[in-house]
Amino acid sequence: MKKYIEQIVSDVVRDVLSTSQNGPPFADRETYTIANWKMNQTIAEAKEYVKRLNIESENSNVIIAPPFPLLIPLKQWINQANLPVTLAAQNVHWEPKGAFTGEVSCTMLNDLGVTSVIIGHSERRASGETLDVVRKKVTQAVHHGLQVILCIGETMEERQAGKTVETVITQIVDATSELTNLSNIILAYEPVWAIGSGSSASPEQVEEIHAAIRNRLIETKGNEAGLISIVYGGSVNQENASSFARAKEVDGTLVGGASLDPTHFGKIVHAFSTEGRETQ
Ligand code: PGA
């Protein structure tokens, strides 16, 4: 009984703190579990994946970002299986059309019924995607009604130099500078050093950065900006997902490696569902 009361008190205190310092309580924000398949899965593998994916709509938004060639078949199988999943592209070009070999436009994604797009992933930034390019893509995508999963994150050198918050705020401010509001943006905080490394940031480290981002957005863009969802990505898996889901500043996750197994991804989705969060 004592433990139970202590838990309630600590939850209330956390809610009050998170309301006064970091904008609205987490229950008012949308939760997302997003699979980033990167350059993985064949048609046959993706088909099998959908057969084995066992999730229910648990008040969490589930998004899968497959490689471009899988968007059409995946959409069909997801519909047939009646799964509560929407699709994201992993990239998009900023021009509406033209001579851009190998690129895909926002209009093409609209045509396919793809509703979200990942922009600014560190693997793309590492291969030359500048702040300028990210901003142009974000602006164009929002203009086309796409929900943008904007990836931000610091390198190990930046963290060690004490520049984590400065780095991620610069990335956000620059990428969104041509938008009038952030209602179509999900922020994915992905420290570069945690991606694919097998060692995630700790939930405490993540909460600290998410809270700093949220506070800064509220200061600069007003209270509405506090409602933005900030998800964490970087070596999240079926074992550590619930420790992030418990963190009130974490509004979901962007998962790479562990999302390739439908059973593991299903467990991660459950951890971030309302029910999963409540039973922790
Ligand atoms: P990871 O990748 O889960 O394999 O670390 C995350 C990402 O790159 O989005």
Walk along the chain (280 residues) and give the pLDDT tens digit of each residue. Answer: 444 434 433 443 344 334 434 456 677 899 999 999 999 999 999 999 999 999 976 678 999 999 999 999 999 999 999 999 999 999 999 999 999 999 999 999 999 999 999 999 999 999 999 999 999 999 999 999 999 999 999 999 999 999 999 999 999 999 999 999 999 999 999 999 999 999 999 999 999 999 999 999 999 888 989 999 999 999 999 999 999 999 999 999 999 999 999 999 999 999 998 766 765 5
The confidence score (pLDDT) of residue 7 equals 45
Q: Is 278 a catalytic residue?
A: no
CA-259 nearest atom, ligand 1: 3
Structure tokens at 244: 């992030």
Per 3-state DSSP, the chain is made up of helix, strand and coil in percentages (nearest 5) of 50, 15, 35
Mark residue 23 as left, alpha or beta (left: phi above 0; alpha: psi -120 to 50; beta: remaining).
left
The pLDDT assigned to 85 comes to 96
User: CA 122 → CA 166, 237, 240, distances in Å?
Assistant: 16, 19, 22
The model's pTM: 0.90
Q: List the structure tokens of 45.
A: 């593998």
Q: How many CB atoms lie within 10 A of CB 161?
A: 12
Residue 202: DSSP 8-state: P
Instruction: Report how far ligand 1's centroid is from the alpha carbon of 258 (Å).
Output: 8
> Ligand 1 centre from 177 Cα, in Å?
26
Closest ligand 1 atom to 234 CA: 5
Which of 64, 186, 200, 235, when mutated, tests ligand 1's pocket best, judged by the most ligand atoms within 8 Å of its CB? 235
| Annotation marks residue 121 as catalytic | yes
> How confident is the model at residue 6, as a pLDDT?
41
- Nearest-atom index, ligand 1, CA of 118: 9
The residue from 93, 154, 158, 190 that is catalytic is 190
Measuring from atom 2 of ligand 1, which residue has the nearest CA? 256
List b or e across 8-22, with b for residues whose CB sees 16 or more CB atoms inside 10 angstroms: eeeeeeeeeebeeeb
Mutate to test the pocket of ligand 1, among 195, 206, 254, 267 (most ligand atoms within 8 A of CB): 195
Residue 188 Cα: closest atom of ligand 1: 9
* Nearest one of 65, 72, 70 to 36, comparing CA atoms: 65
Q: How far is the CA of 52 from the centre of ligand 1 (A)?
A: 21
